[in-house]
Copies of this chain bind each other. A is one copy, B any other.
Amino acid sequence: MKPNCTNPEWIGRSKCVACDVRNFVLFAGLSVNELNTILQPIDNLHVPQHSALYEQGDPAPHLFTVRSGLVKLKVDLPNGGQRIVRLLRPGDVAGLETLVGERYHHTAIALHDADVCRIPREVVLHLDRTSPAVHQALLQRWQRSVDQADHFITALSTGPAESRMARLLLTLGCANAGVEFVMPGREDMGALLGITTETASRIMAEFRRRGLVHMEKGTYVDCNHDGLTRLASA
């Protein structure tokens, strides 16, 4: 997790200015001048796989936007297990709760190597007050969190395990051409769907036998969109 936006060489800073994510994330609508004055304390972090962005219950000084990779938000359960409540992909925001002065509500962990922007809460609060565009973008991000949470309830926590798994694969963009697709581990799949690791493994094996997913040399390549969709709506 090495920062580079505020590095002397501005390694990531230049990336920030050119960042295509910026166009549709929080800073859409700001002029280059505004960005240059405001971007100062923003760091561009590289988050290696399996490392945590922040931990549940920690004080929340920063907000994060995902630039690349895949980040999971999980909560620890009273019985020792854990449940993943959201998956963040490029363009998504983590740690919004910092804006209402709370601690982090989840533990954020990179499922795959990720690049994120780490923004101090004061910066966002200030932009929220001064820039209507940023303000509107913030509301949209918040609504997006709600929508994703709803999707986890209705699609990933409802119905038989097989249907849920099909919906998960479709959610991950498994059948969409052009989307970099990362297959989570079986344990994460279990935590995503509220089932055990073994059941997740069995269902994936069955999908492979039925030709719903294909893999070559250990990596998954192709998914049968129609077949999965049929299962998903069952």
Which residues in B have their C-beta under 8 angstroms from that of A152?
A: 149, 153
- What CA separation (Å) do A139 and B96 show in the bound complex? 10
Q: Given B139, B146, B153, which contacts A153 in the complex, CB threshold below 8 Å?
A: B153
Contact B96 A143 (CB under 8 A): yes
Contact B150 A75 (CB under 8 A): yes
* A158 interface contact, C-beta 8 A: yes
Q: Given B106, B142, B147, which contacts A143 in the complex, CB threshold below 8 Å?
A: B142
Contact A85 B153 (CB under 8 A): yes
Q: Given B105, B158, B232, which contacts A83 in the complex, CB threshold below 8 Å?
A: B158
- What CA separation (Å) do A154 and B74 show in the bound complex? 10
Which residues in B have their C-beta under 8 angstroms from that of A157?
A: 153, 157-158, 194
* A77 interface contact, C-beta 8 A: yes
* A97 interface contact, C-beta 8 A: yes
* A36 interface contact, C-beta 8 A: no
Interface size on A, residues (CB 8 A): 37
- What CA separation (Å) do A159 and B190 show in the bound complex? 12
* A99 interface contact, C-beta 8 A: yes
Which residues in B have their C-beta under 8 angstroms from that of A159?
A: 77, 79, 194
Q: How far in angstroms is the closest Cβ of chain B from A15?
A: 28
Pick from A81, A99, A136, A143 the residue with the most CB of B within 10 Å: A143
Which residues in B have their C-beta under 8 angstroms from that of A145?
A: 146
- What CA separation (Å) do A74 and B157 show in the bound complex? 14
Q: How far in angstroms is the closest Cβ of chain B from A2?
A: 30
Q: Type the 1/0 row for A131-161, where 1 means its CB is closer than 8 Å to any CB of B.
A: 0100010111011011101101110011100
Q: How far in angstroms is the closest Cβ of chain B from A151?
A: 10
From A106, which residue of chain B is reached at the shortest CB distance?
B150
- What CA separation (Å) do A157 and B140 show in the bound complex? 26
Which residues in B have their C-beta under 8 angstroms from that of A218?
A: none
Contact B143 A153 (CB under 8 A): no
**8 shortest interchain CB distances as A-B pairs:** A149-B149, A157-B157, A78-B233, A142-B142, A85-B153, A100-B143, A100-B140, A145-B146
Known: A96-B146, A97-B146, A157-B157. 7 other contacts (CB 8 A): A79-B159, A85-B150, A99-B143, A100-B143, A106-B150, A149-B152, A153-B153
